[in-house]
């Protein structure tokens, strides 16, 4: 079980190795509370990893896991959003659902982190499209 500082180093090393220098202003490797600044807090408490999201002065979710890859998944979701949205804005096609570019870039990024991340992201996107299929014009 990694300490909060070791977990931070693990996450940053994994992300930098695959995505380069990426900055995120609303991800904190510290314990969050109800009155914390809005964002995601990742920390180790009582030998459990917490992925806590705070908004408007309240804890909105607190995912607890003992898997450091689960922490990496959550951090990657946060770190990659700007990359994905910039790609989608620059590569959207007229008449095509905007999500096509988003999902393509998500698959590309998450596959860099291994087959488990690739398959999980593909399944996530598949579930989204079952409920809300592409809406091309």
Q: How buried is 49 (Cβ within 10 angstroms: 0-12 exposed, 13-18 middle, 19+ buried)?
A: buried
The model's pLDDT over 7-56, given as tens digits with 9 standing for 90+, comes to 999 999 999 999 998 888 889 999 998 889 999 999 999 999 999 999 99
Q: Which two tokens stand for residue 137?
A: 């014009």
Kindly list the distances between the CA atom of residue 69 and the CA atoms of 49, 91, 101, 129, 135, in Å, as whole numbers in the listed order: 11, 30, 26, 25, 33
User: Confidence band (pLDDT; 50, 70, 90) for 137?
Assistant: confident
| Percentage above 90 pLDDT, the chain | 88
Residue 23 has what pLDDT?
80
Contacts of 30 (CB under 8 A, 6+ apart): 4, 41, 43
Q: Examine the pLDDT at 6 and tell me if it is beyond 90.
A: yes
Instruction: Report pTM.
Output: 0.92
The model's pLDDT over 94-110, given as tens digits with 9 standing for 90+, comes to 999 999 999 999 999 99
């Amino acid at each position: 079980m990694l300490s909060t500082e070791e977990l931070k180093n693990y996450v940053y090393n994994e992300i930098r190795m695959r995505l380069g220098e990426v900055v995120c202003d609303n991800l904190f490797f510290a314990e969050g509370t109800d009155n914390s600044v809005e964002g995601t807090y990742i920390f180790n408490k009582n030998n459990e990893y917490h992925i806590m999201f705070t908004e408007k002065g309240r804890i909105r979710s607190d995912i607890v896991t003992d898997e450091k890859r689960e922490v990496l998944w959550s951090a990657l979701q946060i770190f990659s959003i700007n990359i994905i949205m910039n790609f989608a804005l620059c590569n959207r096609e007229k008449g095509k659902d905007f999500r096509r570019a988003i999902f393509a870039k998500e698959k590309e990024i998450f596959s860099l982190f291994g087959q488990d991340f690739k398959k999980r992201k593909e399944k996530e996107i598949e579930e989204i499209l079952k409920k809300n299929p592409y809406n091309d014009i």
